[in-house]
Amino acid sequence: MSGVWGNNMKISIFGESHGNGIGIVINGLEPGFEIDFDYIDKEMERRAPGRNNLSTARKEADKVEILSGIFEGKVTGAPICAVIKNIDTRSKDYSLLKDVMRPGHADYPGLIRYDGFNDYRGGGHFSGRITAPLVFAGALAKQILEKKGIFIGAHLKSVGKVEEAYFDSINLNKETLLSLRGKELPILEDKNLEKVKHEILSAKMEGDSVGGVVECGIIGLKAGIGDPFFDSVESTIAHLAFSVPGIKGIEFGAGFDYTKMRGSEGNDEYYMDGKCIKTYSNNNGGITGGITNGMPIIFRAAVKPTASIIKEQRTINAKTLEDTKLVVQGRHDPCIAQRALVVIETIAALAILDLIGGK
């Protein structure tokens, strides 16, 4: 089971949803960088469960215990190891799922891949809970990037059938990105707040779930970062995005709508803004040839509806090899997009920091 990623910096995640704890090891961060721990706490709170009736009832403080690599508030250069204890677990809720496979979940492929030895409680290592230590790493990465004038933010482009506005891909600014972090739900159009809530809560009341689309923006990156083909900016971000549980699609810039344009419409024409080179449009999402072109990077990630729902579903018993039906017990998010949003920001920060060298 691989749990390591990175080139210039390397991260390794460990733990299971209902184990003693989850954690991360980070290599390659710049020695001497001073950490803002309040910043970390705020980022962890954005992902933490149990904050309101729009998420799971499981309550975890997600307080990070740093074991190594940070001394007197600064990065030492040694590997950073951080652990988050699991407190509010109810493993008995998952006893049935040892044999009865949840539709849409990793239970069945995990059972086959690991010969039945994987921890099935709460999804084990497949659980979205494992993204908590990733958010810690992202909080460090964001701080380092922000010192360099690079800012990252995201909003809910859609939840279920409720659609939001797109980012302004030409004039996206720091104020817009940072303002989203303090909102109850990170949406651009406040008029849609009650609509989004209703979409989530109505699914919850029906024992069901909804998905969503997270749009992420990155500003402050100069042109010339990245490589063509295997280490392109898109492939680096996409690799991490598809490592996040529940992500089923990604598009950059105009994305699939680009296919409906002619070249004369889709090409981002250049112009001089003083001594700066800019483009009139940003259909390529700030990346051409796998390399940044100086415009804001814009991408969107599709988050599927939560697989664990209390509606009765058809499935199989993997032990008896018989058809059966399942009503999932336990505590689950009716919509994971709202909590996955900070994880999408995280993978963007980690990808960019790795591309620019980690320093």
Q: Return d(Cα 249, Cα 271) in angstroms, integer.
A: 32
Q: Within 10 A of 266 (CB to CB), how many other CB atoms are there?
A: 16
307 annotated to a ligand binding site: yes
169 annotated to a ligand binding site: no
14's enclosing H/E stretch is: strand 10-15
Asked whether the beta carbons of 156 and 186 are under 8 A apart, the reply is yes
90 annotated to a ligand binding site: no
- The two structure tokens encoding residue 315: 């499935």
Three-state secondary structure call for residue 158: strand
136 annotated to a ligand binding site: no
Asked whether the beta carbons of 352 and 75 are under 8 A apart, the reply is no
290 annotated to a ligand binding site: no
Q: Return d(Cα 283, Cα 252) in angstroms, integer.
A: 8
305 annotated to a ligand binding site: yes
157's enclosing H/E stretch is: strand 151-159
Q: Return d(Cα 214, Cα 341) in angstroms, integer.
A: 6
127 annotated to a ligand binding site: yes
308 annotated to a ligand binding site: yes
Nearest to 51 by CA among 353, 349, 359, 338: 338
332 annotated to a ligand binding site: no
46 annotated to a ligand binding site: no
Three-state secondary structure call for residue 248: strand
Asked whether the beta carbons of 47 and 22 are under 8 A apart, the reply is no
Q: What are phi and psi of 309, to 5 degrees?
A: -130, 160
Nearest to 9 by CA among 80, 65, 83: 80
Q: Percentages helix, strand, coil for the chain, rounded to the nearest 5? A: 35, 25, 45
Positions at the binding site = 47, 125-127, 289, 304-308, 331
Positions at the binding site for FMN = 125-127, 289, 304-308, 331
Positions at the binding site for NADP(+) = 47
